[in-house]
């Protein structure tokens, strides 16, 4: 499932290729990906308009339209992605929506399992309130003090808390595992048992892991050698202690850890 670093990569692609380009046509091969607005209304809103600027909140990409119009909302579900196509390039498989710019180049939304969403929102602020999203994990507002305040005294396991989009927006199953591995915290640790110093360190690690992943294009093979993700399989060797990586389930989600480095409290 695309998480914060993946969406940051899609945002960079959109910014580099599609801003300030006049949209001549919007087409859907499967309009089920469109939510809360009709195909006709969506197309009328975008035709002749331009993508002005983009912003990201967690796993969501919002694109402001020119002229003070609403924002386009993109959520990538489990298999969604953006792909930029020059005029004569063939559309990839599972293309669901295409924005065609003047000159013929296109921005395609791809989604094999059709769990992603495209819609229209009035503003980023109203969107965040409506969806009940917590602060963006890499946002300026997510400083150590706010992170500690959000998590302190919270019931439940730390991995579950990190993945809760109403607590912190952007972290999913894979990066929760990586963050907890790098912080040497067992994913089933009770949040209430983590002291302020541990939470402060966890905040630092969260920022570092997510920023590193964004810098490396969300490509697991390009991540540092001491990251878990390139070795995220049961039975592989821990990059640090050379112990065996173990798989457990946390609230039904497959979870990878090193039991030597991440001891249960």
Of 83, 98, 131, the one marking the end of a domain is 131
In this structure, is residue 167 part of a structural domain? yes
Look at residue 233 in the predicted model and tell me its pLDDT. Answer: 94
Which of the four pLDDT bands, split at 50, 70 and 90, describes residue 69? confident
Burial group, residue 236, by CB count within 10 angstroms (0-12, 13-18, 19+): middle
Q: What is the CATH number of the domain that holds 241?
A: 1.10.8.50
Indicate if the pLDDT at residue 220 is higher than 90.
yes
Confidence of residue 1 (pLDDT cuts 50, 70, 90): confident
**Judging by beta carbons within 10 Å of its beta carbon (0-12, 13-18, 19+), is residue 173 exposed, middle or buried?**
middle
> Which domain does 125 fall in, by range?
4-131
**CATH number of residue 98's parent domain:** 3.20.190.10
Last residue of a domain, one of 131, 154, 178: 131
List CB contacts of 94: < 8 A, sequence separation 6 or more.
79, 110, 111, 112
Residue 265 has pLDDT above 90, yes or no: no
- What confidence category does residue 252 fall into, taking pLDDT thresholds of 50, 70 and 90? very high
Residues assigned a catalytic role = 2-3, 59, 253
Residue 16 located in a structural domain: yes
Q: Tell me: do 8 and 118 sit in the same domain.
A: yes
Q: pLDDT band for 67, please (50, 70, 90 cuts).
A: confident
| Structure confidence by residue, pLDDT tens digits, 161-197 | 999 999 999 999 999 999 999 999 999 999 999 999 9
Tell whether 116 and 82 lie within a shared domain. Answer: yes
Residue 136 lies in a domain: no
74-107 pLDDT, tens digit each: 999 999 999 999 999 999 999 999 999 999 999 9
Counted domains in the chain: 2
Residue pair 245/149 in contact (Cβ under 8 Å)? The answer is no
180-209 in b/e form (b: 16+ CB < 10 A) is bbbbbbbbbbebeebeeebbebbbebbbeb
Secondary element (H or E) of residue 109? strand 106-111
Judgement on whether residues 89 and 115 belong to the same structural domain of the protein: yes
207 lies in some domain: yes
22 and 50 Cβ atoms separated by less than 8 Å: yes
- 233 and 189 in one domain? yes
Q: Are 160 and 192 in contact (CB under 8 A)?
A: no
Same domain, yes or no: 98 and 151: no
For 14-63, how does the pLDDT look when each residue is reduced to its tens digit (9 = 90+)? Answer: 999 999 999 999 999 999 999 999 999 999 999 999 999 999 999 999 99
- Domain assignment of residue 111, yes or no: yes
Distance of CA 226 to the CA centre of its chain: 22
Report yes or no on whether pTM surpasses 0.75.
Answer: yes
Predicted confidence at residue 38, as pLDDT, reads 98
Residue finishing a domain among 131, 162, 194: 131
Mean pLDDT of 138-163: 96
3-state helix, strand, coil in the chain (%, to 5): 35, 25, 40
């Amino acid at each position: 499932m695309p998480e914060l670093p993946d969406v940051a990569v899609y945002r960079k692609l959109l910014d580099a290729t599609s801003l300030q380009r006049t949209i001549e046509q919007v087409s859907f091969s499967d309009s089920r990906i469109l939510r809360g607005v009709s195909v006709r209304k969506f197309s009328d809103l975008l035709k002749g308009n331009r993508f002005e600027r983009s912003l990201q909140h967690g796993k969501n990409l919002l694109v402001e339209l020119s002229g003070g119009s609403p924002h386009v909302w993109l959520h990538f579900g489990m298999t969604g992605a953006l792909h930029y196509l020059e005029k004569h390039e063939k559309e990839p498989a599972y293309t669901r929506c295409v924005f065609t710019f003047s000159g013929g180049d296109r921005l395609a939304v791809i989604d094999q399992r059709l769990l992603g969403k495209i819609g229209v929102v009035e503003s980023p602020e109203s969107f965040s309130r409506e969806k009940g999203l917590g602060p963006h994990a890499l946002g300026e507002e997510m400083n150590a003090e706010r992170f500690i305040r959000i998590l302190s005294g919270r019931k439940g396991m730390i991995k579950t808390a990190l993945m809760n989009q109403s607590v912190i927006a952007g972290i999913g199953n894979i990066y929760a595992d990586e963050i907890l591995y790098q912080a040497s915290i067992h994913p089933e640790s009770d949040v209430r048992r983590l002291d302020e110093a541990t939470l402060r360190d966890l905040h630092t690690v969260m920022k570092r892991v997510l920023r590193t992943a964004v810098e490396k294009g969300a490509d697991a093979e390009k991540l540092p050698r001491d990251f878990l993700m390139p070795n995220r399989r049961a039975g592989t060797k821990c990059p640090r202690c050379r112990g065996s990586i173990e798989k457990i389930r946390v609230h039904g989600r497959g979870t990878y850890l090193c039991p030597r480095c991440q001891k249960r409290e």
